Amino acid sequence: MHANRLTVSLSPSQGRSNVTQSSSKNTRPALKPPDALLLGSIAFLIALGLVMVFSASSATAYLEYHDTAHYFKRQALYLVAGCVLAYGAYRVDYRKLRKLAPALVAIAFVLLVLTLIPHVGYAAGGSRRWLGLRALSFQPSEIGKLILVLFLAAKLAQIGEGVRSLSKGVAPALFITLLLAAPVLMEPDMGTASIYVFTAFALLFTAGARIEHLIMCVLVMLPAATIAVGTSAYKRARIFAFLNPWKDAQNTGFHIVQSLLALGSGGLFGVGLGASRQKYQYLPMSHTDFIFSIIGEELGLLGCIAVIALFVLFAIRAINLALKAPDRFGMLLAMGCTFLIVIQAFINIGVVTSSWPVTGVPLPFISFGGTSLIVSLLAVALIANVGRHPTD
């Protein structure tokens, strides 16, 4: 009797022990929490962007809509939509996106071509970049940047060491890049098209492509780029304005001159938040492409340094997460998203400081613009997504 009772009393505990051992073997490693410094740097940039959009756009918004907060309220709505989509991108397993890359490239190409068709895509500011209704429009060129990164990450991860081959690695990657960049250049949007190319070269270098192959491709593409600039009056004007903006300060050099005046008048500490004079119809696109100039005018050199420091912090943390990715695809995807944001940021800053020819490239997270903000948030979400998966 005692022996039987003893056997019965031990069986449940033994069963629990076996279940515990079995479940411990099947349990996957816990997902990591999001990187605090990565998200913190982006949160500060977004907060500053909202403040500066309100400040830089208040005069224009009042003239156009009799509402000084018009652009601020729209940007806030874009931010909410972007955060919802970014959270979804953060929660899904990034590895599932790999199979979607070819189909997404085809969709992106079709959308980019549609923008060039009259009465389908519509123009503003001299470029045909938008699809949809004016109140609910989007820029396919912004979406195309992120899709290109996804495709290149998937392709380069698939071929592995094949990236060291010109015919099997570099050439196919650049072909898809130029296929997407060509309609963007025809919009015309030379700045965004150049981001496609710069990002592709950066990803190819990261993936292990040979330097001599990349240099060879640059030399092959350089004559075509020279012809594209030389045969376009507006592109030539921008190059000449970049070389000497003061020669035609009232026409082709107007943007750069007014931008430099804004930056110079800010001094070390700025004229004060909201006290910009250039935003009163002196500096065009003060709340979009040239918002960094208003930051320099109102917050001074220290404000500009703070913005650059936040982008540098973001880049350091994002690259750190990419290098710890559990697979090659994740590493390349995170690096590509990082390149996308950082290259765009420093091209924009280069433009407003007369260190780069004038291009229609917004400052990520800060410039007014719905598609740009949402795509930038999605890129950060994908970086954080890769970073939350532990190394196998």
pLDDT string in tens for the chain (392-residue length): 444 444 444 444 444 444 444 444 445 668 889 999 999 999 999 999 999 999 999 999 999 999 999 999 999 999 999 999 999 999 999 999 999 999 999 999 999 999 999 889 988 777 888 998 766 789 999 999 999 999 999 999 999 999 999 999 999 999 999 999 999 999 888 899 999 999 999 999 999 999 999 999 999 999 988 888 888 887 888 888 888 999 889 888 999 999 999 999 999 999 999 999 999 999 999 999 999 999 999 999 999 999 999 999 999 999 999 999 999 999 999 999 999 999 999 999 999 999 999 888 999 999 999 999 999 999 999 999 999 988 76
Report the alpha-carbon distance of residue 325 to residue 388 in Å, rounded.
9
Beta bridge partners of 130: 122
- Between CA 338 and CA 334 the distance in angstroms is 6
What is d(CA 33, CA 231) in angstroms, rounded to the nearest whole number?
52
Pairing of strands 137-138, 127-132: antiparallel
Token code pair at residue 11? 């069986």
Are 141 and 187 within 8 A, CB to CB? yes
User: What is the rounded CA–CA span in Å between residue 353 and residue 357?
Assistant: 10
Question: What is the domain partition of the chain in residue ranges?
Answer: 55-388
Partners of 127 in the beta sheet?
Answer: 124
> Please, are residues 388 and 34 in contact by the beta-carbon 8 Å criterion?
yes
Q: How far apart are the first and last CA of the chain?
A: 51
Per-residue pLDDT of 178-190, as tens digits, reads: 999 999 999 888 8
pTM equals: 0.91
73 close to 57: Cβ distance less than 8 angstroms: no
Round to whole Å and give the CA distance between 361 and 125.
13
pLDDT digits (tens, 9 = 90+) for 135-150: 678 999 999 999 999 9
Tokens of 171: 């050439």
